[in-house]
Amino acid sequence: MLLASGLASVGAAAIGAVGTNVTAWAASTDVLSSNQSNAGPYQDSFNPYLSTSAASTAGLQSMIYEPLLQYDGAKPSNVYPWLATSYKSLNHNRTFIFYLRHNVQWSDGKPFTANDVVFTFDALKRNPAINTNGIQFTSVTAVNKYEVKFQLASPNASELYYIATTYIVPEHIWQSVNPSTYADSNPVGTGPYVLKSFATTDIQLTANPHYWGGSPHVATLNFPMSDSDQSADTMMAAGGAQWGGHNFGDVAKLYINGDPKYRHYWYIPTTSIQLLPNLTQYPFNNVDFRKALSESINRLAIQNEAEHGYEYAIKTPTGLLLPNFSNELAPQFKNLHYIQNVAAARALLAKAGFTRKGSGPLIGKDGKAITLNIVLPSPYFDWFTVADILSSQWKAPAIKLNVPRVSLGTWQSDEALGNFGLTLNVGNSGPSQYYIYNGLLNNRLTAPIGQTATGDLERWSSPATQRLLSTYESGTPAQQAAALDGLESVVVNDLPYIPLIYQSGWFQYSNKDFVGWPTSQNPYAIGAPNGLNAELVVLHLRPRS
C-alpha cells in the first residue's frame, strides 16, 4: 500500500493521494496475533468511543473504524491522507474543509459519504461523555457527497488534529442508537477488517472484502486476552503472539533471548505519565503540599526499578515531552531539572502548616495524621512498583501511602468521576506539547465530582490557564510559543499534576512470520498494537517469503 507523507502547511494543505493506484494485495491465510495486558473478560462491545469496550481494551478500533487523516506518532510531521485525501484551512483556521476519498464503502457494502462525517461529529457534540477531546465547532455540513465543512466560533488551529483523528461511524446504523451507550456488537466500519468471532477471552478479525485499499496481506488478526502483564509475558515468550504492546519488564531476558534472530522491540516516548492529585480534596488542594510530594520523589528510581530503564524519568518540571518537543521548552526552564530534595519538601510542609512530633506521622491542620491513597488498576504491575517506590520515598517527610487495588474498569470509572485521592495517569498525545497540556488542564473537559470528566481529571480550574490554551488555539505561531511558555509556567509553579516518567510506546514483535514492522530506521508509525497507528502497521506487513 502506498502511504504518502509530508502534509503541506495549514492553509495550503494539499495531501498526496493514497491508494488510488493500489492493486489488490494477495490474501494470506497466516494469522497475526496481537497481545496486550488487558483486564478481562472482554465486553461484547466494539463502540470505538467507550474505554470499556472490547475494541478499546484490545486496541483494535483502527482495524474497523478509520479517521479522516492519520498522524505518524513516531514522527508527527508525517501526516497520511485517509478517509480524506486533502483539506483546506480558511478564515485563519476558523473553517476546515475536508475532501473525502471517493468510492469508499462501509463493510456492509453501503457507500461512505460526507453525511456519515456530519452525523459522527453532530453525535459527539450531542454526547459530551464520548467527546473525549472536547471538539468544538458551530456547524458541520456536507457541501456535497465528498466535501465536509467545519465552521468554528473562533480561529483554532489545534482543532484540526482532533477532528482529523476522530473515528467515523456509519449514519445508517448509528442514527437510531445512543452513541454513548451503544454496544456495537456487530461493528460496521470502513477499516481493513471486520469481526470474525467474539469470545470473552479471544477476538478474531478477518479481511474486509469492501476495503477501499484492497485486501491486506494479513488475512486474520487474533486478539487473545491477557489479564495482567505477567500473563501477557508468558504468552509472548511462548510464541503465542507475534505483536506485543505491554511492559515486558526485562524484555531481553524474558522475550528477545527466546528467539534472538527474529524477536525485537522498539520503545520510544509518546507522552507523559503523571501523578494526579484530586484537587478538590485536602491536602491536595494545597500547592505547597503538592510541591512537597514532588520534591520527595527520586524519578530515576522509578525509571530503573519500576520500568527497567525503558520508560525515562521526566527531568524537566515543565513535564515537556523531550526530546520530541525540545524546541518548545521555554528559555527560562532550560536549566531547571528535577532533583530529589527531602529538606525542601519538609520546609514546604512546615510553610503550609503541617507538623510532626518526633518520629511520629505528619499532622495536617485538622489535627489528623496524613494518610494518602493511590488507586491503581490491578493489571498494571509496574505501577504498583511505582507506588511502592513512592511509599518508601515519602517516609522521609512522614507521609503514609496506601495502595488500593481495583479492576481496570473500576479505575477508569473512578478517574472519570473523581473518586480518588491520588492516581497515575497517561497523558494524551499529539504533534505538540499543547495536546498533552490540553488533556490535563482544560477545564472544558472536566466535570463536578460524581459526573464523568473526559479530561482534566484532577479538576484543575484556572481562568489564566484557559486563556493560555485559548491563545494557543487561535494565535499566530509567535503567540502559540508564548502560550506554551505560559502553560509550562503553570505546571512548574502551580503543579496541578506531578510529572513522573515518559510513557513508552510499548512494542515487541517477531518478524519470523511477518516483515515490514516500523523501526528507528523506518519510523512510519508507532509500533504499539493499539490506537490509530496500529492500522498503519498492519497495512505495512506482509508474510515473510
In tens, the pLDDT along 118-142 reads 999 999 999 988 988 889 899 999 9
Residue 432 near residue 438 (C-beta atoms within 8 A): no
Q: Which of 250, 339, 363, 310 is nearest to 506 (CA)?
A: 310
Residue 305 near residue 418 (C-beta atoms within 8 A): no
Question: Does residue 76 register a pLDDT over 90?
Answer: no
Alpha carbons 184 and 528: distance in angstroms, whole number: 24
C-alpha cell read off for 216: 491486506
Residue 121 near residue 96 (C-beta atoms within 8 A): no
Percentage of the chain exceeding pLDDT 70: 94
Residues 207-235, mean pLDDT to the nearest whole number: 91
pLDDT tens-digit map of 142-167:
999 999 999 998 888 889 999 999 99
Sign of the torsion angle spanned by Cα atoms 268, 269, 270, 276 = positive
Per-domain boundaries in the chain: 269-504
Alpha carbons 371 and 295: distance in angstroms, whole number: 18
Question: Does residue 26 register a pLDDT over 60?
Answer: no
The type of residue at 292 is A
Q: Which of 17-31, 62-76, 227-241 has the highest mean pLDDT?
A: 62-76
Q: What are the Cα distances from residue 111, in Å, to 57, 93, 187, 210?
A: 29, 30, 16, 10
C-alpha cell read off for 231: 500473563
C-alpha cell read off for 309: 530503564
Residues 6+ apart with CB under 8 A from 257: none
Alpha carbons 279 and 244: distance in angstroms, whole number: 36
Whole-model pTM: value is 0.82
Residues 29-34, mean pLDDT to the nearest whole number: 83
Q: What are the Cα distances from residue 270, in Å, to 13, 125, 233, 311, 529?
A: 25, 28, 22, 10, 14
Residues 269-284, mean pLDDT to the nearest whole number: 96
Indicate the Cα dihedral angle 381, 342, 320, 409, nearest 10°: 30
Q: Which residue has the cell 473526559?
A: 454
Q: Which residue has the cell 525503558?
A: 310
Residue 162 near residue 439 (C-beta atoms within 8 A): no
To the nearest whole number, what is the mean pLDDT of the chain? Answer: 90
Residue 518 near residue 264 (C-beta atoms within 8 A): no
Q: What are the Cα distances from residue 545, in Å, to 28, 115, 516, 542?
A: 12, 42, 12, 9
Q: In the CATH hierarchy, which top-level class contains the domain 269-504? A: alpha beta
Q: What are the Cα distances from residue 194, in Å, to 35, 66, 146, 197, 208?
A: 18, 12, 24, 9, 5
Residues 157-178, mean pLDDT to the nearest whole number: 95
Question: Does residue 530 register a pLDDT over 50?
Answer: yes
Residue 437 near residue 429 (C-beta atoms within 8 A): no
Alpha helices by DSSP H, listed for 312-455, are 342-351, 381-393, 408-417, 433-441
In this predicted structure, what is the pLDDT of residue 39?
Answer: 66
Alpha carbons 508 and 258: distance in angstroms, whole number: 13
Residue 210 near residue 109 (C-beta atoms within 8 A): yes
Residues 6+ apart with CB under 8 A from 21: 2
Residues 375-401, mean pLDDT to the nearest whole number: 93
Q: Which of 109, 116, 108 is nearest to 84 (CA)?
A: 116
pLDDT tens-digit map of 321-344:
998 899 999 999 999 999 999 999
Distance of CA 59 to the CA centre of its chain: 11
Distance of CA 27 to the CA centre of its chain: 31
Indicate the Cα dihedral angle 413, 415, 416, 421, nearest 10°: 120
